[in-house]
Amino acid sequence: MAEADAAVAAPAPVQFRELATVSGQRIGVAQLNAEKSLNALTLPMIRLLDPQLQRWAADPGIACVVLHGAGEKAFCAGGDVRSLYKAITDHQGPPPNPDNLAFFSEEYRLDYRIHTYAKPLLVWGSGIVMGGGLGLMAGASHRVVTETSRVAMPEITIGLFPDVGGSYFLSRIADRVGLFLALTGVSINAHDLLHVKLADHFLRAADRDAVFERLAGCGDWSADAEHNHRLLTRLLDGLGEAAAGLLPESNLQRHAATIAQLVSGRTLAAVREAITAYSGDDAWLRRAAATLAAGSPTTAALCWELLDRAATMSLADVFRMELVVALQCCAHPDFPEGVRALLIDKDNAPRWTPATPDAVTPAWVAEHLTAPAWPGTAHPLADL
């Protein structure tokens, strides 16, 4: 009985509340509620969040939606790759692995919903925002970052690829900076995010609750979504003055000329050689070079191919492509091996297959882009 009572009392992995406003409209607030795991995104979280966003979208009394993470350390440190690893090891075989199919297809559907959400949706991207966390944030209409924001797409270290729409938004960053971010998994800050237009507003981390209260105290919300979009922009712009002196220096701006030179090659081999050969004094660039050098050669090849393809694709087509590649990564060696080395055995010594960039053939890359036999008659994201 005690165990059953404890299970009943366990807090939901996503918590929802609604804030009444003086105008009579309401603000929907969703909190990722897994502070100990840095709010890593799980399938149960996705299955709570997506239908609630749909309900709020259909509710004429909801003027604005807010999404944030529990605690101060992270908005969301990425997807729950431990569960994906367990699904791979428990159910080995050709794609699609049913558990992995459920996770990736429902995650991408949620990300697409955020990108296309009609009402203003504020994501508070403070602290760690990685992988799947950036997938949740990138498509929001109002993306807030703070002096503590630390953002990366570090899939090169685990043999996956920058998914959750990463192929789409990274391919659209000017001067091939998105390619640099994908290949190196390097961490960027709030100023960097504003610079590449992956964030919209810079506020103080400590002001989060006060900002939410200020939104609730506004008397100008209405039932008109476009009006509310403009209103939220004005409110956040007005609140940003207190944070002005905290904006960190942008590494992407400071090293713009160097990065442009490093990614200027016409082939992946040339770009890889240029980045990994960096021998300057800057620690941030040295970490970027070292991460690519130690990362999965297959991931690097997928980054190169997917960003090139995605540059001319619609968002929906990108998510459909990424689902194919994610499921193929689950059925190929590097993703489970990368998770094993980094998170399971923690030996930090992944044995990549193929082990070297030269051994990654066009046929190997093509395998990762080949759609599996779907359990139904159509692609699971065909309706996006």
Active site residues per annotation: 79, 132, 155, 163
Q: How far apart are the first and last CA of the chain?
A: 45
Q: Which helix (H) or strand (E) holds 262?
A: helix 256-262
Q: pLDDT tens per residue, the chain (384 residues)?
A: 455 555 566 899 999 999 999 999 999 999 999 999 999 999 999 999 999 999 999 999 999 999 999 999 999 999 999 999 999 999 888 999 999 999 999 999 999 999 999 999 999 999 999 999 999 999 999 999 999 999 999 999 999 999 999 999 999 999 999 999 999 999 999 999 999 999 999 999 999 999 999 999 999 999 999 999 999 999 999 999 889 899 999 999 999 999 999 999 999 999 999 999 999 999 999 999 999 999 999 999 999 999 999 999 999 999 999 999 999 999 999 999 999 999 999 999 999 999 999 999 999 999 999 999 999 889 999 999
DSSP per position, 43-58:
HHHHHHHHHHHHHHHH
Cis peptide before 354 (omega within 30 of 0): yes
Nearest to 332 by CA among 161, 168, 182: 161
User: Domains (ranges, CATH) in the chain?
Assistant: 2-368 (3.90.226.10)
Residue 127 phi/psi, 5° resolution?
70, -150
d(CA 215, CA 347): 47
Dihedral sign of CA atoms 64, 206, 255, 177 in order:
negative
Amino acid identity at 294:
A
Q: How many residues does the chain have?
A: 384
Cis peptide before 372 (omega within 30 of 0): no
Cα angle value 200/203/208 (rounded, 5°): 115
Cα angle value 270/274/280 (rounded, 5°): 175
d(CA 304, CA 7): 45
CB atoms inside a 10 Å sphere around CB 277:
10
Nearest to 353 by CA among 294, 297, 290, 269: 297
Query: Which pTM value belongs to this model?
Result: 0.96
d(CA 138, CA 123): 9
